[in-house]
Each structure stands twice: as structure tokens, then as C-alpha cells.
Amino acid sequence: MTRTVFTGGTVFDGTGSEPAPADVVIEDGVIVDVGAGLDGDLSVDCTGATLLPGLFDCHVHVVGSGLGLLPQVQKPFSYQFYEAARNLWTTLKLGITTVRDAAGADLGIKQAVADGLISGPRLQIAIGLISPTGGHGDGWLPSGHCVPASLPHPGRPDAMADGPDEMRRVARTLLRAGADVLKVCTTGGVLSPRSDPRHSQFTVEELDVLVTEAQMQGRAVMAHAQGTEGIKNAVRAGIRSIEHGIYLDDEAIELMLARGTWLVPTLVAPVNVIRAAEAGASLPDAVVRKAKEVAEVHADSVRRAVAAGVRIAMGTDSGVGPHGTNLEELGLMRSCGMSPADVLVATTSSAARLLGFDGELGRLAPGHRADVVVVAGDPYDFGGLAGNVREVWQDGVRAV
């Protein structure tokens, strides 16, 4: 087997320790050694660069390519899959080698990446967004027509549910379709014009059924949860991660700490909604108004969660905003009180732990899969990080 050694660089190993000079050796897709003076059959000169573990984005929508209703309904059905291939490649070039798709991508997209038909980060997929009638995932419009964000098809079954029995059926249907994680709306949202992000959706009984179904199949649940009570309902039901977490109060934070619940903040999401509106995207006035209302309270909630020690993993909601701008989230996390090292931990080893890849990805350590990102200059220069990515290796193969 060929041994490839990355020499002359500085290593951020994913644990939060300060970057330090070291070589990294990979063989057969696995990291076999990290240390000084190592050798190999092939050498990659990393002088002046820092090596990072492959980065994670725990909340993306790879079939989404921005906001607005008309582009979605005017494109041919299959066009979304070609857009997904482009979006995945754009994300991989940032050094993001693993993503969790939070509704939209089906099993075919995941398998196409795994089989090497298209280049992109490895995928965990939720397939559909479980929502009640009138909820955040309900595409009903005042005209009476229904246009959900992700149009159902055989690989992406309808995910609307009302009551425990329908929740059970939808959970099983999504799991059958290949879902690695189940995503549920426990509150309204910013992008759904007729729902309020502060209001709760689904009863505790419905959420208990969902979590039970997921756990029986060894799966976790992620919750679109923005309003306070909906966040608490999700945490009490045993949902693994809160996505967004806009209106956190002290009790919600205490519950998350007690239950070990993760927060995936997606701070850049409302920022991207506001930007899209300013750029002329066709968005309902209510959506733009809500985005402006939540931006600062969202940041304040994340600051308090960080200060309290809530477990944080990086996610962006890319697809709502442009793919390729994912790393903007790191600077926003830093502005919420996280140290630069903690931001990178949230984007590497902590994210790996959330997604069940602990001990496999997220660190530069022997025995871990060889996802390596070579970054020129200061790895804590989050504003310049995207432009400083020199090479991206995935499972020991140079991808970028």
C-alpha cells in the first residue's frame, strides 16, 4: 500500500488543542501516524499551511439553490439532481467532506456520491421534512395550491402527518426510503409565510412516537425548532439536535444541558434571507419581516447557549443561502463567544460526534478516515478561510 505523508505543516487535530508542527501519514484511506519526522512513499509539501480534519456542515439542503417560488416550479423535474451535483462539488471545494442533508436529498443522490458517480461530501440524509397540516413544511398557498419546498416523488415521499398514527406511518415511510435521520418541525418557521416561528407544532405524544420509531431503527431525530416551547418539547422527547434554536430561554438551555442535546445554530440562515430579499428574490413580505425580527434574538440565544456550555455543531442551512458560502457561519459562531479553536471543534470532531462518526471522522488521529484539508495561512482567519483552502483529501484520495 502507498503511504502518503503530509510534511512541513502545522496540524489542528480536531480536539481543540492549538495547532502544532507535525507530519501526517495516510495509507489505504486511513490516517496511520501523526508526529515529527515521518516518511512515506509520496510526499505532500505543506510548508506554510495548516492541516485540518475534513470539515462538516450538519444542516444543508443540497437540492436547494436559493430562495423564491418561481424558479422551483419552472424548472424540469430532473433539473434538481444536476443542481445537487453542482452544489455538492461547490461544498466539497470548501474542505467540507461530510454533510447532513436536512430534507431534499434522496437515497439516489447519497448513493451517487458514495459510488463515485459525482463528487461531493459524504451524506447523511433526512429525505423529508415532517410537518403537520399548516406547519412549517406545509406548502399550502393562499391560492389554494400546494407547492412544498421539496416536491414529493418516489424517492422523497410526502412527510405530512397529523396525530400519532400518521406520525408513525410517515416515520416508517421515510426510514424505508433510506433516511439516516428523521427531521421534524416542532415550531413554525421564517420561510413558511403562514406559520410563526414562536408557535409550537406537534404534541409531545406525537414526538414521542417519532423518537421511538427512530430509535428502534438505530436512528436519531433532528428538530427544526425556533420557538421556546417547541424547543423544550423536542428536548423532552429525546430529540438529538435542535436546529436554529432562535428563542432559547434559561429553562430550554438547562434542559439541553441536562439531556445532552445538541444545538446547530445556522446563524447565517436569516442573514441569507435578508440578503436574498435585498437582491430582488420574490419572497412574501411576512418572510422578510420575520427574518429581520429574528436575526439579533437568534444571535443572543446562541451566545447564552455557548456561555452555558451547550454542545454546538456547525450547520448553515445552505440551499436557503448560496452553497459555497458555508464557511461564513464560522465567523458568526466566533461572534457569539466561541473561541476560534472551539469553532473549529464544532466544525470537526463535535460535528462528527453529533452525526455518529465519533472515532471515525473529525480528527487527525491514527485510525481515523483520511479526510484532510490543507489550508494556507492562519486557520483561524475565518473570513479568508474559503479562499485559503489549497487541497481537500477524502478517504485518502485528493478530491480538490
Query: C-alpha angle with apex 327: 325 to 332, nearest 5 degrees?
Result: 110
CB 314 within 8 A of CB 267: no
**Is 67 strand, coil or helix?**
coil
Average pLDDT value for the chain? 94
Burial class (CB in 10 A: 0-12, 13-18, 19+), 370: buried
* Mean per-residue pLDDT, 179-185: 98
pLDDT digits (tens, 9 = 90+) for 250-278: 999 999 999 999 999 999 998 988 888 88
pLDDT digits (tens, 9 = 90+) for 318-346: 999 899 999 999 999 999 999 999 999 99
C-alpha closest to that of 268 among 350, 341, 323: 323
Q: Which residue in the block uniquely carries the three cell numbers 457561519?
A: 329
Which residues have CB under 8 Å from 270's CB, separation 6+? Answer: 190, 291, 292, 294, 295, 298
CB 200 within 8 A of CB 186: yes
In the annotation, is 183 catalytic?
Answer: yes
- Cell numbers placing 292: 429581520
pLDDT digits (tens, 9 = 90+) for 351-391: 999 999 999 999 999 999 999 999 999 999 999 999 999 99
**Of 13, 101, 180, 183, catalytic:** 183
pTM: 0.95
CB 195 within 8 A of CB 157: no
**Of 13, 57, 106, 317, catalytic:** 317
Q: Is the pLDDT of residue 313 over 90?
A: yes
- Round to whole Å and give the CA distance between 149 and 102: 12
- Round to whole Å and give the CA distance between 370 and 157: 35
- CA 265 vs CA 141, 241, 270, 329: distances in Å: 28, 10, 11, 9
In the annotation, is 196 catalytic?
Answer: no
Domains, the chain, in order of start with CATH, read: 3-53+361-398 (2.30.40.10), 55-326 (3.20.20.140)
Give 181-200 as a DSSP string: EEEEESB--SSSTT--TTSB
